[in-house]
Structure 1
Amino acid sequence: MLHSNLLRLVARGGPKRWMSTTTKLTSVEVNDKTGIATLTLNRPPVNSQNVQLLVDLQSSIGEIESNKSRGLILTSACSNVFSAGLDILEMYNTDEERLRTIWTELQNAWIALYGSSLPTAAAINGHAPAGGCLLATACEYRVMLPKRLIGLNETQLGIIAPKWLMSGFLNVLPQRVAERALTQGRLFTTEEALAEGLVDEIANTKEEALEKCAAFIGSFTKVNPLARSLTKLQFRAENIKEFEKIRKKDVEDFVALASRPEVQKGMGIYLENLKKKSKK
């Protein structure tokens, strides 16, 4: 569900154009020289994915595609976190309808990015657990800064990662490695992620990461754009088809699981631990 009417184009002069949502939880910068768009998540302090951020993300992807950019780089305005994943506050001690809404918007954001016809890359300038990893692995290429963490740690919260969420992992990791990481809720260091193939390159700064992502997208300059996008989507078609078949059931399964008393209790403990850490 795309809400491109939330976006407006703002002329700033120079070689770049800016687009921004009315809520400013995402921003888009288009380099007029290269045609590459940089989509930045901007919900301090850790880009936790609430409903509005997920809706804004979909809107920005839709706007980039409608403006026919040559590629999309996803990154974060937060200095040490790419995205901390779903906002636990939106899932804790809430009603089933709210749970349905946030999970549906997570699905929508993932399919918008995973199913994009554009070349996509993630400049991972901070930690990327859970939903942050989901967005990064939905992209085709990943560049990460040193001493950061990435992975799907849902089992640590008592939540099960559905198959469509696993598909990004399975696109880049051997099944044995992915299975062990998912069951353990493992977070990989940057160096471990590079060794396993979860990320493609390491960069020392965000600027360098953006440059490496732009170089990846630039590698398709001499490739027919339509042929490239159709080839990409053929590789991803089976995962997308399976996702569409089960997406409604997946929402209900998530609501049933997240509503369980023991899962809610686990979320409460997790939030209390975060509060304690923030006071130190």
Structure 2
Amino acid sequence: ILDFLTEFCINVEKLEMDKTCRGLIITSQPKVFSARLDIMEMYGKSPERCGEFWRAVQEMWLKLYSSDMVTIAAINGSSPAGGCLMSLTCDYRIMADNPRYSIGLNETQLGIVAPFWFKDTMVNTLGLLYSPSEALKVGLVDLLVPEDEVLTTATKTMTKWLAIPDHARQITKSMMRKPTIDKLTSKREADIQNFVSFITKDSIQKSLRMYLEMLKKRRG
């Protein structure tokens, strides 16, 4: 996932530099919009590797959360943890109305404490997973549509958003998001150190190992 995050950030930066590109729709293959942050990047790795991974997660969030483009998440599958965070960085979220899917920050279930910028992006919902209807009710997603209409609806919604003058939209977005962005920017190194020292603790590594073993049993 480290390579994916790096490539993702590079591509977002390229789109930002392309003045003909005003909007970005983020979607995936059906059933899983984006799984949680790769546990294998956190289990049994050196502190240096953990730090490199966390810096890439920070960069992904910063790039999307501060983007001048209109960003829409077309959520056509389950979206826990990292997938939820990516969705929350977007301006608008459209989710498939399928009770099998869920979305939310569930780090606490793995024994992991989400950092302040996760929390600030999704206030008061830490540790919970929501069904699509529940997510709509609490404002975690903006719209539910049938599964086969997620991308077409996202495209129609993008057209409406692009009708808004860029200048006014970008300034308004910056006013709302800048305090959280500045907070992480000024504390990036400390945030990385906190993550590395926490994730490499024996008790946390044990918790991750138990979770991985549980996943193996389920798949077996």
User: Aligned runs of 1:109-120 on 2, under 5 Å?
Assistant: 109-120=60-71
| 5+ long unaligned stretches in structure 1 | 1-49, 171-177
CA contact (8 A) 2:89 2:121 kept: yes
2:184 counterpart of 1:243: yes
Secondary structure of the 2:77 match is coil
| CA distance in structure 2 between the aligned counterparts of 1:267 and 1:278, rounded to whole angstroms | 17
Aligned position for 1:67: 18
Shift of 1:238: 0.7
Aligned position for 2:143: 201
Could you give the per-residue CA deviations for residues 95-118 of structure 1, whole angstroms, max 9, x where no partner exists? 100100110000000100011011
Percent identity at matched positions? 40
Structure 2 counterpart of 1:133, one-letter code: C
Aligned position for 2:157: 216
Aligned equivalent of 1:142, options 93, 100, 106:
93
Aligned equivalent of 1:167, options 110, 114, 120:
120
CA contact (8 A) 2:70 2:162 kept: no
Structure with the bigger RCO (C-alpha within 8 Å, sep 6+) is 2
Aligned-pair Cα RMSD in Å: 1.3
Aligned position for 1:95: 46
| CA distance in structure 2 between the aligned counterparts of 1:80 and 1:277, rounded to whole angstroms | 18
Aligned equivalent of 2:104, options 151, 166, 174:
151
Shift of 1:198: 0.5
Structure 2 counterpart of 1:250, one-letter code: D
Q: How many residues align?
A: 217
Aligned position for 2:204: 263
| CA distance in structure 2 between the aligned counterparts of 1:202 and 1:228, rounded to whole angstroms | 24
With structure 1 as the length reference, what TM-score do the two structures score? 0.75
With structure 2 as the length reference, what TM-score do the two structures score? 0.94
Report the more deviating stretch, 227-236 or 260-269. 227-236
Aligned equivalent of 1:125, options 76, 90, 100:
76
* Runs of 4+ residues deviating >6 angstroms: none
1 or 2, which has the higher helix percentage? 2
Shift of 1:232: 1.0
| CA distance in structure 1 between the aligned counterparts of 2:215 and 2:81, rounded to whole angstroms | 16
CA contact (8 A) 2:71 2:90 kept: yes
Secondary structure of the 2:196 match is helix
Report the more deviating stretch, 67-76 or 250-259. 67-76
Shift of 1:119: 0.8
Shift of 1:192: 0.4
